[in-house]
Amino acid sequence: MDALVDSARRRESVLVVGLDPIPDRLPPEIADRRLPEHESVREFCLNVLETVEPEVAAIKLQAAYFERLGPAGMEVYAEVSRSAAELNLPVIADVKRGDIGSVAAAYAEAHLKTYGARCVTVNPYMGEDAVIPFLEEVRHLGEGGGVFVLIATSNPSAEKLQNASDPPLFEIAAKLVAELGQQGKHGYPDCGGVVGATRPEAGRRVRELLPEAIFLVPGYGAQGGGAREVRSLLNSEGSGVLVNSSRAITYAHEKYGSSYPKAIREAAREAKQELRSIGARM
């Protein structure tokens, strides 16, 4: 996770902006030109990237929205990743892949090497076989990357599965993360977790089990999680959290009505400041 920590400190921000390029939510400046879909997505993503770069620790790419556009979408995904690298901004590939052994290794190669992301999100349903190949690729590349394992997610139906047993699934996943991580130069393990801002009780329990890990926190902004919920996820030193906001920032033009780069810049600055005001830092 060292690359993320370096970036968060350099930009004094624990904010991650997520790119979910949904065609029918693109701003009118782009939509009205009726370009081929992957061209619209390309322009939007590159502009958002450049606009938010000074305010964020990392950019998160939601692979699904590129994948749905076929091979041309994956060309855009590659180009956005390259542009982020040129800006020295780490990419978190939000892929949530969940396969095992050599299949997981092929996914790790795809996103961490072929497409050049620093970090990936991983789904632990299949156990450690699903996580280790990603950690091995991160360690092999030696570029300070990391893996965020889904632990307690922020969506409405998550609890029905993740809280339905004794012990709850999210605790079993947290213990898996604790076993697999190796400490980097800043003291953070290279295996972190995805812990939603909408389930503070589960979040506190996960923090007990993983006192040192970095949490990637979705559900901030659009999904209803706020600064107070984020505070309960911080470690004892007020750090260890990267907070993702996707649509509340990248579609800020829908709320503010101004030109989209301006709306996005303001929304990103506001979120960054709000997170600083609760004392979250890296």
Considering the candidates 96, 113, 160, 185, report the single residue annotated as catalytic: 96
CB within 8 A of 172, min separation 6: which ones?
Answer: none
| Residues in Cβ contact with 97 at an 8 Å cutoff, skipping those fewer than 6 apart | 104, 107, 111, 120, 122, 123, 130
**Whole-angstrom Cα distance, residue 194 to residue 203?**
10
Instruction: Rule CB under 8 A: choose which of 43, 128, 136, 212 binds a copy of itself.
Output: 128
Q: Single out the residue of 34, 71, 142, 257 in contact with a copy of itself (rule: CB under 8 A).
A: 71
Reduced 3-state DSSP string for 211-238 = CCCCEEECCECCCCECHHHHHCCCCCCC
Indicate whether 115 belongs to the interface with a copy of itself (CB under 8 A).
yes
Among 36, 70, 238, 279, binds a copy of itself (CB under 8 A): 70
Query: Site for a copy of itself (CB under 8 A): which residue of 6, 9, 22, 136?
Result: 22
Closer residue to a copy of itself (CB): 68 or 262: 68
Residue 96 bears catalytic tag: yes
Count of residues in contact with a copy of itself, rule CB under 8 A: 56
From the list 75, 136, 212, 270, which residue makes contact with a copy of itself (rule: CB under 8 A)?
Answer: 75
Q: Which is nearer to a copy of itself, 157 or 277 (CB)?
A: 157
- Quick one: angle between helices 169-180 and 200-209, nearest 10? 30
Q: Which is nearer to a copy of itself, 16 or 150 (CB)?
A: 150
Residues 6+ apart with CB under 8 A from 85: 91, 116
Q: Which stretch binds a copy of itself (CB under 8 A): 2-10, 102-110, 226-234, 257-265?
A: 102-110
110, 119, 213, 230: which one contacts a copy of itself (CB under 8 A)? 110
Cα–Cα distance for residue pair 91/84, rounded to 1 Å: 7
Q: Kindly state whether residue 99 participates in binding a copy of itself, applying the rule CB under 8 A.
A: yes
How far apart CA 260 and CA 146 sit, in angstroms, is: 32
Q: Which residues contact 247 (CB under 8 A, 6 or more apart)?
A: 18, 20, 25, 221, 222
Q: Which helix (H) or strand (E) holds 93?
A: strand 91-97
Site for a copy of itself in 146-205 (CB under 8 A): 150, 153, 155-162, 164-169, 172-173, 176
215 in Cβ contact with 191 (< 8 Å): no
**Binding flag, residue 65, a copy of itself (CB under 8 A):** yes
Q: According to the binding rule CB under 8 A, does residue 114 interact with a copy of itself?
A: yes
Give residues in contact with a copy of itself (CB under 8 A): 20, 22, 62, 64-65, 67-72, 74-75, 78, 96-104, 106-107, 109-110, 114-115, 123-130, 150, 153, 155-162, 164-169, 172-173, 176
